[in-house]
């Protein structure tokens, strides 16, 4: 509605959708990671812009062996591309290749109340369990906020457990904007749907920490052994069962084509089948489901330069964007010396200073 009745509102052009998400390289990806997260990244990669990063700085709080970390980062990149992440659509990069993000973390840290971090569950959980927590874990939501804000992300696909951290990010961005002008774009969480809780071999949530995983790219013979050992209930074979109550069926239904899934559900309801049959069907269905990805993975492994080239190009694109946002933030809060001396550079390689008053200079106000 026009404010004074005289002006016709000009419709704002739709804001571009910028999707961002990071995944920690703390172990090989399992079916829970794929159905709970990676599949959604791939679905969303055709947004206006999509940024996906391998969160090696976050992983440093848990992976303390340098060689292992290096290998995990490489494997994560190969796995993601093999699973369908397309570097022509999405910018895929390694978090530590964009040092602008750690500088942005500091700027945000100066507006972060301690109490806010004390309420964050990753830290609280560890403390409640009496485990030692380092400052890295404590301040992890601030690094995560910088990860998001550095790319002007508008949409962050997350699981339920990460919604709190997006709220922290919005809080910090809001405070900074309030103090210094409209610098940051406030992101929105997008809850990932389906595969919300993939069960592990023991029926609990599949998780690296519970040692109950089936990994996306593990050796098929080893995986078959694991599947054949999955614990099942001990009710007699002939008793009809509800398929949705059985973790074996839940896993099968994620992989099997619709018609096979319906047939299997019917078998459960009628009774008179053996879990051995379901396990064999699951072995086959999962081999089929990931067959193409396995083939792509084999090709990528044989061509290590290709993955390097993808990550290098991704880092360049990501850095250019983060550089812009960081310059905006530096200018806004008065850190302009580096900008004037050309230590940090704005767009097109020009020194980033504009000479305008702090925080009001970008002409990109009204971020939400």
With residue 68 as reference, give the H or E element that holds it.
helix 66-82
Pair of tokens at residue 146: 């910088």
Q: Which residues contact 129 (CB under 8 A, 6 or more apart)?
A: none
Q: Which of 205, 226, 280, 364 is catalytic?
A: 205
For 241-298, give the DSSP string. Answer: --GGG-HHHHHHHHHS-HHHHHHHHHHHHH----HHHHHHHHHHHHHHHTHHHHHHHH
Among the options 124, 127, 208, 321, which is catalytic? 208
Q: Give the residue with the Cβ less far from ligand ATP, 122 or 142.
A: 122
Site string (3-42) toward ligand ATP, x via CB under 6 A:
--------------------xx-x-----xx--xx-----
Asked if 87 is part of the footprint of ligand ATP (rule: CB under 6 A), the reply reads no
Q: Of 72 and 315, which has the nearer Cβ to ligand ATP?
A: 72
Q: Supply the minimum distance, in Å, between the C-beta of residue 62 and ligand ATP.
A: 7
The smaller minimum CB distance to ligand ATP, of residues 162 and 185, is found at: 162
Judged by CB under 6 A, the chain residues 325 through 344 that form the site for ligand ATP are none
126 given a catalytic annotation? yes
Q: Residue-wise over 5-20: b if at least 16 C-beta within 10 A, else e?
A: eeeeeeeeeeeeebbb
- Say what angle helices 291-301 and 304-333 make with each other, to 10 degrees: 90
* Smallest gap from residue 116 Cβ to ligand ATP (A): 22
Q: Which residue's CB atom is positioned nearest to ligand ATP?
A: 36
* Closer residue to ligand ATP, CB minimum distance, 32 or 314: 32
| 57 closest CA partner among 137, 123, 131, 133 | 137
Q: How far is the CB of 15 from ligand ATP (least distance, A)?
A: 25
Choice among 12, 124, 126, 347 that is catalytic:
126
Nearer to ligand ATP, 26 or 105 (CB): 26
Is the CB of residue 296 less than 8 Å from the CB of residue 85? no
Nearer to ligand ATP, 195 or 359 (CB): 195
CB of 314 to ligand ATP, least distance (A): 20
User: What is the rounded CA–CA span in Å between residue 75 and residue 88?
Assistant: 20
User: Which residues ranging from 182 to 211 are in contact with ligand ATP (CB under 6 A)?
Assistant: 195-198, 205-209
Q: Total residues at the site for ligand ATP (CB under 6 A)?
A: 17
Q: Distance (Å, rounded) from C-alpha 355 to C-alpha 143? A: 29
Residue selected from 84, 159, 203, 338 as contacting ligand ATP according to rule CB under 6 A: 159
120 CB-near residues (< 8 Å, 6+ apart): 140, 141, 164, 165, 168
Which residues, listed in sequence order, are joined to residue 30 by a DSSP beta bridge?
Answer: 215
Can you tell me the distance from the alpha carbon of 55 to that of 23, in angstroms, rounded to the nearest whole number? Answer: 6
d(CA 60, CA 48): 31
- Smallest distance, ligand ATP to C-beta of residue 254, A: 10
Instruction: Examine the residue annotation and report whether 350 is marked as an active-site residue of this protein.
Output: no
Q: C-beta of 27: minimal distance to ligand ATP in Å? A: 7
In our burial notation (b when 16+ CB lie closer than 10 A, e otherwise), range 254-290 reads bbbeeebbeebbebbeeeeeebeebbebbbebbeebb
Closest contact distance (angstroms) between CB of 56 and ligand ATP is: 13
Which 268-297 residues touch ligand ATP, going by CB under 6 A? none
For the CA atoms of 349, 351, 354, 357, what is the dihedral angle to 10 degrees? Answer: 130
The reply to whether 205 belongs to the active site is: yes
Nearer to ligand ATP, 293 or 313 (CB): 293
Give catalytic residue positions: 126, 205, 208
Using CB under 6 A as the criterion, which residues of the chain lie in contact with ligand ATP when the complex forms? 23-24, 26, 32-33, 36-37, 159, 195-198, 205-209
């Amino acid at each position: 509605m026009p404010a004074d009745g005289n002006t016709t509102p000009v419709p704002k052009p739709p804001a571009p959708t910028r999707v961002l998400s990071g995944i920690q390289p703390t172990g090989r990806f399992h079916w829970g990671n794929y159905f709970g997260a990676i599949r959604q990244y791939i679905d969303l990669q055709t947004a206006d812009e999509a940024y996906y990063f391998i969160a090696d700085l976050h992983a440093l709080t848990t992976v303390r062996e340098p060689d292992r970390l290096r290998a995990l980062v490489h494997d994560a990149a190969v796995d993601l591309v093999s699973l369908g992440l397309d570097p022509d659509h999405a910018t895929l990069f390694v978090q530590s290749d964009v040092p602008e993000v750690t500088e942005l973390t500091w700027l945000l840290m100066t507006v972060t109340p301690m109490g806010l971090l004390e309420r964050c569950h990753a830290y609280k959980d560890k403390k409640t369990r009496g485990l030692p927590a380092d400052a890295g874990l404590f301040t992890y939501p601030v690094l995560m906020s910088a990860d998001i804000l550095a790319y002007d992300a508008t949409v962050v696909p997350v699981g339920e457990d990460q919604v709190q951290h997006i709220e922290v990010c919005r809080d910090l961005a809001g405070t900074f904007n309030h103090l210094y002008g409209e610098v940051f774009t406030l992101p929105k969480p997008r809850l990932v749907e389906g595969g919300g809780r993939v069960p592990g071999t023991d029926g609990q949530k599949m998780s690296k920490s519970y040692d109950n995983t089936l990994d996306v790219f593990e050796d098929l013979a080893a995986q078959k052994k694991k599947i054949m050992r999955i614990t099942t209930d001990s009710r007699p074979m002939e008793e009809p069962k509800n398929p949705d109550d059985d973790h074996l069926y839940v896993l099968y239904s994620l992989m099997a084509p619709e018609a096979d899934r319906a047939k299997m559900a019917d078998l459960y309801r009628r009774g008179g089948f053996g879990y051995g049959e379901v396990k064999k069907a699951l072995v086959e269905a999962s081999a089929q489901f990931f067959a193409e990805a396995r083939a792509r993975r084999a090709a990528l492994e044989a061509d290590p330069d290709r993955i390097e080239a993808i990550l290098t190009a991704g880092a360049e694109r990501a850095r250019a964007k983060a550089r812009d946002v960081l310059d905006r933030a530096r200018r806004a809060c008065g850190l302009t010396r580096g900008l004037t001396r050309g230590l940090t550079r704005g767009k097109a390689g020009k020194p980033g200073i504009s000479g305008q008053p702090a925080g009001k200079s970008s002409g990109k106000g009204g971020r939400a």
